[in-house]
């Protein structure tokens, strides 16, 4: 099942979006973006809490 994360849903004024069929891939992509762009650390639970099925 494909899941989608929008950076704005995490409270950032940012147009980043990630979408993946694999949860591990989605978590990795979002964690990397959050660290590089916002100096924020997101746990797997944080990411999955933002993810919506599409």
User: DSSP letters of 25-42?
Assistant: HHHHHHHHHHHHHH----
Measured in whole angstroms, the distance separating CA 14 from the mean position of its chain's CA atoms is 12
- The pLDDT value recorded for residue 3 is 98
- The pLDDT value recorded for residue 34 is 97
Residue 35 CB neighbour total at 10 angstroms: 12
Range of the domain at 13: 3-53
pLDDT digits (tens, 9 = 90+) for 8-54: 999 999 999 999 999 999 999 999 999 999 999 999 999 999 999 99
State the total domains in the chain: 1
């Amino acid at each position: 099942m494909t899941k989608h994360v929008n950076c704005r849903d995490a409270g950032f004024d940012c147009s980043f979006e990630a979408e993946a069929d694999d949860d591990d891939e989605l978590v990795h992509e979002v964690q990397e973006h959050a660290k590089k762009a916002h100096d924020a650390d997101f746990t797997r639970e944080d990411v999955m809490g933002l993810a919506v099925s599409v």
